[in-house]
Structure 1
Amino acid sequence: MLGFHLTKPLRAAGFALCAVAGLVACGSNTQETEMSNVALDVLKQTTSKLTSKIGGGKSNAGAAPAAAADPGALIAKALAATDGPIAIVVRLDTKAVLAMNPVGTNGDHVTWGSAPGQGITYNRGVMTNTRGLGDDLMSSRIDDAVAAITSRSDAEYTRFHYYLGDLGQTTELRLNCTLRRGETEKVTLGEIDEDAVILKETCRWDQIAFSNVYWVDDAGRVLKSSQWVGQRIGSLAIQNLRL
């Protein structure tokens, strides 16, 4: 079990998990509302791109209403209201949006989350576990995946994911994965303005199959991504505004 050092509590970003239709109203204060508006516009701009890179899902035009203000201004306000990293996370199946920032670290592992307790832990930008999302990814063994993704190299490896079964037992999902390097693309949003290589990770075990996509810069940082949690939650689109 990883022991995390907790950093200062979330201030501006909070952790908003709301239906898209109610995003603007879900913030408990002005800063959270600003982040929710930003999240809504990011959803409109980036989810279709992420989905097209994954190769699945139909576009749902009209699912997200127009943002109430200029997205650049909203992002600027959100960044000005916080001291550290900020990310927008979109659950692709429900279009629910989370505004997150870091709450704990343990070496290369960083947990992003909120005071209420929901969170996502990453190893150098690659998801290792989740909490408070429902059917969580409890833990994983993905060192080979992390090494290949952050070095932006073609590779084949095995992932091990661990979930809680219906009776509370731990179940293991062993996935055979292939990582392929693609084109280079500029990632520009918030304070992120970097060229990144797009890497597509395809994993399969029996009838279970999914694809993850990562935009990784020269320093090996994952600037944005789409990462699979599990069969019931599906994939999360993760867009950093500041690292």
Structure 2
Amino acid sequence: MIRQTAFAAGFLALAACGPMSQDGLATQLVGAVQQTVGGAEAVPPPPQLATDEDIDNNPGQFIRVNFRDLGTWDTMVAAASNAGRDTWIGAANLSVTFEEGIVVATRGMPRDLMGADTGQVRAAINAGGGTAQRTHDFLDNLDQISTRVLQCGISSQGTDSFVRREQTHDTTRFEEKCASEQLQFTNVYWVNAEGQIVRSLQAVSPDAGYLQIDVF
């Protein structure tokens, strides 16, 4: 595992890199988090599967995903559940699969995340912080599965409230900083008192960038 002090130094170097790429996926983190906390939806949505009233009247039935690097966002409904993994799909035919609130697969995006093992990450969040190893599987240019093993440090950033749809959510914010020789990124999670990730900013792949995910 990478020590926290060494990881912090590596991340500072990462922040100086160029736009999102395989050499530095976290370079837009600060601006993205600021926009996320502000609650701004700066991009036009596709035709929606549900209105705001539908979402308000059916808690737990919808999520909204801002595909930041694709310039679109979508409301999604649950499509399948298998072995603790839940897949959600929207009107734009993009889908995201989660395991306990953490992205483990996507479909329909540039260089999809074909699969991921993130169990240690969720355990570290539940423990209030720690270290974890995660693996990501991507399709390479030859349509072969390419696996990345990343070492991650998860730390609590303290209490952090945000306002969404005129409702204040009191949460604890966690940051997950991950790195391998080929890939580096930072994820952010807003976790409520029940342990649910109600908002997050999660990296998918060098080509797809970040997803901002709101769980209603």
Residue equivalent to 1:4: none
For 2:27 and 2:143, how far apart are their aligned partners in 1? Answer: 36
Aligned length: 181
Q: Which residue identity lines up with residue 235 of structure 1 in the other structure?
A: Y
Aligned-pair identity in percent equals 26
2:108 matched to 1:125? no
- Counterpart amino acid of residue 173 in structure 1: R
Could you tell which deviates more after superposition, 87-96 or 222-231?
87-96
SS at match of 1:55: helix
Question: Per the alignment, do residues 58 and 184 of structure 1 end up closer, same or farther by CA in structure 2, a change over 3 Å counting?
Answer: closer
Q: CA deviation at 1:52?
A: 11
Query: Relative to structure 2, which stretch is displaced further, 108-117 or 137-146?
Result: 108-117
SS at match of 1:168: coil
DSSP-derived class of the 2:135 partner: strand
**Uncovered stretches (5+) of structure 2, i.e. residues with no partner:** 1-25, 36-40, 46-50
Deviation at residue 186 of structure 1 after TM alignment: 2.5
TM-score, scaled relative to structure 1: 0.64
Q: What is the TM-score when the length of structure 2 is the normalising length? A: 0.72
Aligned partner of 1:85 among 33, 43, 61: 61
Instruction: Return the offset for 1:83.
Output: 7.2
In structure 1, what is the equivalent of residue 21 of structure 2? none
Sort the Cα spacing of 1:192 and 1:57 in 2 relative to 1 into closer, same or farther, 3 A: closer
Letter in 2 for 1:120: V
Higher strand residue share? 2
Which residue is 2:207 aligned to?
A: 232
Counterpart of 1:112 in structure 2 is: 88
Give 1:88 deviation, angstroms: 1.4
Matches within 5 A, 1:146-161: 146-149=122-125, 151=126, 153-161=128-136
**Cα distance in 1, alignment partners of residues 127 and 69 from structure 2:** 28
Alpha-carbon separation, structure 1, partners of 2:105 and 2:98? 7
Measured against aligned partners, the alpha-carbon deviations of 1:160-202 in whole angstroms (never above 9, x if no partner) come to 0001111121100111111010121234435975421100001
Measured after TM superposition, the shift of residue 207 of structure 1 is: 4.7
1:133-158 deviation line (CA, Å, top 9, x unaligned):
22100001111012122x15211121
Aligned twin of 2:185: 210
CA distance in 1, matches of 2:159, 2:150: 27
Residue segments in structure 1 that go unaligned for 5+ positions in a row:
1-50, 68-73
- Counterpart CA distance in 2 for 1:84 and 1:233 is 26
- The answer as to whether partners of 2:75 and 2:91 remain within 8 angstroms in 1 is no
CA deviations 1:61-115 (Å, max 9, x no partner) are: xx94899xxxxxx73x242575752221112224311111211112421111147
How far apart in 2 are the matches of 1:86 and 1:205?
A: 33
CA distance in 2, matches of 1:186, 1:53: 22
Secondary structure of the residue aligned to 1:133 is coil
What value does the CA root-mean-square deviation take over the aligned residues? 3.3
**Other structure's SS at 2:193 match:** coil
Contact 2:63 / 2:75 at 8 angstroms: preserved in 1? yes
